[in-house]
Amino acid sequence: MNSLVTDAQKAGERVGLTFDRITIDGGVPLRGRIEVRGAKNLVTKAMVASLLGESSSLLRGVPDISDVRVVRGLLEVHGVKVSEGTEPGDLILDPSNVVTAHMADIDAHAGSSRIPILFCGPLLHQLGEAFIPDLGGCRIGDRPIDFHLDALRRFGAVVDKLPSGIRITAPNGLHGAHIELPYPSVGATEQVLLTATRAEGVTELRNAAIEPEIMDLIAILQKMGAIISVEPNRVIFIEGVDKLEGYTHRAIFDRNEAASWASAALATGGDVFVGGAKQEHMMTFLNVFRKVGGKFDIYEDGIRFYHPGCALKPVVIETDVHPGFMTDWQQPLVIALTQAEGQSIVHETVYENRFGFTDALIEMGADITVHKHGLEGGDRRVPRRDLEQAAVVVGPTPLHGADVVVPDLRGGFSHLIAALTAEGRSTVSNVGIISRGYENLAAKLEALGARFVLEG
C-alpha cells in the first residue's frame, strides 16, 4: 500500500493538491452544475503528437490534472517550450529545440505514468533515439509494454534493455509496417499512429482501437499533414510523410469524467448537469444508465443526469472496447447498482484486476461477490476472455461510512461516490491519485453541495 500512497502524493503535488485525505458526511444528494474539459486520454497524447511537428501547436480545453503536468514536464526536459495561451485551458507547444533527455530526468518527471513509451516514435523521428524508464500506472492489471517494443522493432527500431530503463535507436530510420493487434488496444494503436505518420512507406494496422479519443488523435495528425485512412473492420492505413507542421485543436470532452458524475448523481439520488458533455460519444453509457432507471436530458451545452425518484433496476453489463461499454465506466456505476432492486452482474473483459475497489464497498455494507475467473453461461454479447472477471451486485443495500484507501484512479472516484452515498462519516485516504484524471475535484464537490473536509 505504501507504493500507492507514494504515487498519489506525487500526483497531487503536480497539481498543487497537498491533501491526502477527505472526510465526507454522506447521505446528501448531489445537486448542481459542473464542467468537464478535454479528455485525459486525448490531451496527453495530443501533447506528445506536437513533438512530430516543425512548428508550434495550440491545444485547447486542456484540464489541470496531474497526467497533463507529467507530460508537460517530460516535453520540457526534451526541450519543448510549453506555455499557456490566451484562454484558460490553452497550451502552446513549441518543439523547435528538441533534445535528448537524461534517463534520470525522464524518470523524475514520469513518476508512475506510462506515457513515456508513446514518446518513442516521435523522438526517433526527431533525434534518432529515445529513452524510457521503468513504467508504472494504475494497478488494475497487467499492462505489458512488450507490444509497443515489438511494434517499434517492426518499424526498424533497435531496442536495448539497460539496468536503468530502455534505449531505443533507429540507425536506418523508420519504415512502414504491417501490424495486426491481438486485441484492439488503445495504447498500442496510439503507438502505431505516432510512429507511422513519419515512417517511410505505408503502414497497415489491423484490429485497431477506434475509440473517440483515437479518432480525435487522427484528426490532429491529419491537421499536421498526415495521411491516415480509417477503413471498415478496424483497419487503418497510414502513408508516411516527410514532415508535419503544428496544429490548432480543441480536445474532445472527457466522457469518463462525465460518466463518473452521472453515476454519482444516480447513486446519491441527485441531479447533476455536466457541462461540456456530448451525447454522441456517450450513447452506450446512456443506454445502460437508462436501463438502470436513471434519467437524463440532452442539451446543446451538456447533459443533465438525475435520479428518477423511484426504485432503480438491476442490469447486466459487459465491458468492451469502443463502441462497447467502457471499463472506466463500470466502477462508478457499480455504486449506483448497490442501490438497485435485484441482482446486477458486471462482466469485466478488458482488465483482469479491476474489482479490487469492491473490498471497501463490502466493508461499507454492499453485497458484492467477485468471481475471479468470470461466470460461465448467460446470453453474452462480448466474447469471453481468459483474463475476465465478474462481479455480482445485489441490492438495494444501505451503505454506511467507513475508512477506505483509494486503489486506483476510477476506483478512487468510486470510493468517493460510495462515501457521498453512505449514511454517516467516511474518510477516504490516498485521494491524490484521483487528481490524475479529475480536475478541480474539491471545487466541483463544493458546487454540488457535498459535505466534506480536506486534510493534509
Q: How far apart are CA 73 and CA 240, in angstroms?
A: 28
> Which is nearest to 267 in space by CA: 391, 140, 361, 408?
361
How many CB atoms lie under 10 A from the CB of residue 83?
Answer: 10
Residue 407 has phi, psi (to 5 degrees) of -90, -30
Cα→Cα distances 220→94, 216, 318, 431, Å: 16, 6, 31, 33
- Strands 271-275, 81-84: pairing kind: unpaired
Q: How far apart are CA 363 and CA 403, in angstroms?
A: 9
H or E element in which residue 426 lies: strand 425-429
Query: What is the grid cell recorded at 393?
Result: 451486485
CB 400 within 8 A of CB 364: yes
Sign, CA dihedral 318-321-322-328, equals positive
Catalytic residue among 138, 326, 420, 445: 138
Annotation marks residue 138 as catalytic: yes
CB 270 within 8 A of CB 306: yes
Show the DSSP H helices in 178-254 as ranges: 186-196, 212-224
**Which of helix, strand or coil describes residue 243?**
coil
State the chain's maximal CA–CA distance in angstroms.
66
112: amino acid identity, one letter: S
Residue 205 has phi, psi (to 5 degrees) of -110, 120
What is the DSSP secondary-structure string of 290-306? HHHT-EEEEETTEEEEE
Q: How far apart are CA 19 and CA 17, in angstroms?
A: 6
Residue 281 has phi, psi (to 5 degrees) of -95, 10
Q: How far apart are CA 179 and CA 206, in angstroms?
A: 6
The residues assigned a catalytic role are 138
